Structure 1
Amino acid sequence: MIRVLTLAAAAALSLALPATSFAADPAVPKLSEPGQNLPASVFAARREALMKAMGNEGVAVIFAEGSEDFTGFRQSSDFYYLTGVEEKGAVLVLAPKERTYKEFLYLPSRDPEAERWIGERLPLGAELRARYGFQKIYRGTPGGALVDLASRSPILWQVMRPSGGEARPKDLELYSKVQSKVPGVSVKTLGYTLGKMRSKHDEAELAIMQKSIRITEEGHRAAWSLVRPGATEGAVRAEAERVWRTADSRRPAYETIVGSGPNSTILHYPRSERVMQAGELLLMDMGTEYAHYATDITRTLPVSGKFTPEQRKVYDVVLKAQAAAFALAKPGAYYEDLDAAARKVIDDAGYGDYFIHGLGHFVGLDVHDAGAYHDKLEPGMVLTLEPGVYIPGKNIGIRIEDEILITKDGARYLTDGLPKTADDIEHWMAQHVKR
């Protein structure tokens, strides 16, 4: 059952815990095929919206500056958001003032030897244009063409701004060369605009995000069934990630966090090597990435199946803090007010010194997604609520994290498929964990 708390309900939060609110067997949304991505028309509409935000003036260049690790190459989210293209080294050029063609995609030249390692790439032609939704696709870089475009519309738009210690972004390097050849060209930024666009999700995005959530929840349930004294953190982690892989998830959305006992008090505990002991807590911050969209869910379980009185006391405070924040979530609210509401519950309970991080973050293509935290909340935004209390001296680390969607008249939980109250967790473990 999905519950939406109103402002009037906030006054009762200090007196009662939220009722049972999870779906015992949530359905996984059906997409047309495994790993479905959004159609090219969606990316085209995003480019059109960005060009409108540019005032239909100037030229924007966005580079595909993704990352690569053992899970493979992951495209930079800004570039993927606008193109759906996953190739390394691609470049997007937007020139809204041009009369005929206003968007251009540049792809790296083909390399037959490299393709023997990573797979064949399509040649230029109708099939490639249809796949990506561009009328103009080239191999190479836009250098000379950019000088020509800027001479007719002398504003250069950049997406990323350099920060301390980072190399100068490729777009600024290129723009400096253009400015040296086209006097009077100015540089402006699109970072805020693009971040706002990415923070508001349409129905097509939300369908994929909901499936990512259901897959994540399946992994949680499978992992929970292994939680008992003598089990290892690593076994719990591996079981969740196994389930995600079998559900066509390409990779975890972030480094999976599974910490028991003293490790539950380490916010981003990285190793998952410890053997769980009776009477301890196990904190699991785990989420997958499906069709490029991330999920972020945290639950804290009692290793023995029952919370101790002190553990339950702290757990209930954290749950009340999340409920207090959720009660304020609606269009026009400020995220900092949600944070303050959660923090007050924890402060009033005497645990304020042990809540040592912010309430949460935007979620989308990245687990810590783009968005303006100091702006008012708007419909379509997806954020986490993740209050926590960490008491190292007592080996009590408790975090409860869910994703919420801001709707036109309030908010609703998207991650409603897992037990959350202490009673529900104990009941679930009694039914599903073999001892």
Structure 2
Amino acid sequence: MTTKETPMRAIELFAGAGGLGMGISKAGFRPMQVVEWDRWCCDTIRENRKVKAGGISHWPLPTEGDIRAVDFRQHEGKIDLVTGGPPCQPFSLGGKHRAHADARDMWPEAVRVVRETRPRAFVFENVKGLTRASFATYLAHIVHQLTYPELTLRPGETWMEHMARLERHHTAKGGSDELRYNVVYRVLNAANHGVPQRRERVVFVGFRADLGIEWSFPEATHSLEALLWEQVRTGDYWERHEIAKRDRVLDPRFRARGMALLEKPADKPWLTVRDAIGDLPDPELQPELAAACLNHRFQGGARSYVGHTGSPLDEPAKTLKAGVHGVPGGENMLRRADGSVRYFSVRESARLQTFPDKYRFHGSWTESMRQLGNAVPVKLAQAVGENVARHLTAA
């Protein structure tokens, strides 16, 4: 049985700023290798490893570089879990939607690592855009590759030909000694798991078939209805934050939805922007106080326009985003009760992604926000990781 003294072993791919890996570590796994190509992300991991922030002091130094040049066969049969977020630009709603034709698609590398290490389980995540109808066939291709990682693409074979071969194999009687995984995937909203942000990601989980593990995604622990109960029906939310009645600004649609509730929901309430950052000094209005907080400086230039009006204080934040050339215009903003807007600071964004306050981000505001916009919320990763760990421990 795994204990704190003997944690399960993991490999973290496409580590980014460390959100997924940190959540998985909190769930009881210890990474044997951490791989990331971006130097700023690697600097962030190295710095926090050095200062022992975020509980990653036990991580190995990141393998910095192209994953395609890394041989993972040394880990064969020694790994409990492989995790990672293959670069998602091909599937992002804001990208060019090239999918399998995009050289940035790293799903084949994720499958290769599973094939070379034969872990007991894996957890991969990607943007919700991967589940678009236009990507349905390629999504099925990904799932089939993860199910049968040894059935590799042949020289000269197109991905559609590979897909057909995988389908034929899937409907035939496979060999008893083949490497096969039972794979499920689901779009998860981070707000439903205690993250103060409405962030939807598609998560893939697979268990090696020989383990005989039956698994399903963890149930949601938080809900909008529970938040509206406290905001509309009881007022407990406003009283907890000491907000005067004249300053209690709420979307009329939410107010009507709250009034329709007849009994208190059993879930915990969604966490809001105010819940997450309400105790931090405003970097625009209180710059001297804000300067005492790590990565908490005012960034000017925010403006609101149709469709991009910022995140209201008393709702979970809208999805933090990371553009190829910096933060997209009108995104990653706080909208105050009086309607004024400003960009979230790096520290505020880190809280919205549930990174600990001592966690340092390297690079400019734009670079740090890119790291955060691409990250998996730590709490969401931990929720999935703990569920996976329980089943692996019991197997």
Query: What TM-score does the superposition give when structure 2 sets the normalisation length?
Result: 0.27
Bigger CA radius of gyration: 1
Q: Structure 1-normalised TM-score?
A: 0.25
